[in-house]
Amino acid sequence: MKIAFNKKNIKGPWGGGNQILLLLCNYLKAKGHNICFDLNCNPDIVIMMDIKDSSCSFSIKQLEQFKNRTGVKVIHRVNDNGSHRQNNQERNDDMVIAINHKLVDKSVFISDWVKQYYIKRGLISNNNCVIPNGVDRSIFYPNNKIRMKNEPLKLITHHWSSNMAKGYLVYDKIATFCNNNPEIATFRFLGNSPSNMLKNCDKIKPKPYKEIPKYLQEQDVYITATQFESGGCHIIEGMACGLIPLVRIGGGGPEEYSKGYGFYYNTAEELINIIKLLRKDYALYTNYKDKICSQYIYGAKDMSKLYEKELL
């Protein structure tokens, strides 16, 4: 089967959607499918990974013309929403809805949260499914290290975007807390952050996908303060490495992905109390550590199998 993606993979450190694209392409190629990134290959199926022409290898207008001419099946991976776009939330959401109604044969939502988000805004799709994101389990796995009882908790998060909706106000408070209380916890940030924030923690520049696990595996706990996230690869990458997730209520997809595995909070003060609790109650820490290591389910292979099933 000839499958065209409307976005090419970008080498080097980039967002989670870029890695999902690479993992999907590698899996489908291994299964014997022909993969291309334009419409010249006369594809049987087009998978839309994005709706912004500036980010895509062919425009929405070109796809519309091709579909009108050939009847090609179009699948849209819905992985974004406008909640974190202060100036054009409605424009972003309206584009997603309009394109789905006009061109899409099947919608694939990366979480039930984002599916319900668009249904409430008027998206009508009788042919849809939810397929969570997945990570490469050959490199994202626990290193079986468990913190000693009297050691501080090692906290980490990673984001390639410096958008404030990622939770930088919370991270900044956690960085200050850890700087003032090193016997309780330490905090490391991997990625891009606003230049005026996170001055009290260890900051590391973005790394290629294959290098991320070695930074995560050294830690104990994964923090996400993001809001309105459709899915979020950062949270499942941390969990895949055996880190206990601490997740902000209202985070969207991360709440869904981490259900049953971690702890949830509203404010930075509540988060600090959870950190103190995990530091003090060693049995609680080890129980959750064992749980996340033994029950994790978000692998790229399982994700890709579901995509293949929905394609055929």
Q: Which two tokens stand for residue 198?
A: 């996170």
pLDDT tens for the chain, 312 residues: list them.
Answer: 999 999 887 665 556 678 899 999 999 999 999 999 999 999 999 999 998 888 889 999 999 999 999 999 999 999 988 876 665 656 789 999 999 999 999 999 999 999 999 999 999 888 999 999 999 999 999 998 889 999 999 999 999 989 898 999 999 999 999 999 999 999 999 999 998 899 889 999 999 999 999 999 999 999 999 999 999 899 999 999 999 999 999 889 999 999 999 999 999 999 999 999 999 999 999 999 999 999 999 999 999 999 999 887
What three-state secondary structure class fits 189?
strand
Neighbours of 175 (CB within 10 A): 24
DSSP 39-93: STT--SEEEES---GGGSSS-HHHHHHHHHHH--EEEEEE---GGG-TTTHHHHH
Report the amino acid identity of residue 5. F
pTM, to two decimals:
0.93
The answer to whether 173 and 157 have CB atoms below 8 angstroms apart is: no
- CATH topology match: 2-130 vs 153-295: yes
Distance in angstroms (rounded) separating the CA atoms of residues 304 and 151: 39
Domain spans of the chain, in order of start? 2-130, 153-295
Q: Which helix (H) or strand (E) holds 187?
A: strand 185-191
- What are the φ and ψ backbone dihedral angles of 76, each rounded to 5 degrees? -115, 120
The CATH code that applies to domain 2-130 is 3.40.50.2000
Of 3.40.50.2000, 3.40.50.970, 3.40.50.10860, 3.90.1150.60, which CATH number belongs to 153-295? 3.40.50.2000
Distance in angstroms (rounded) separating the CA atoms of residues 126 and 137: 33
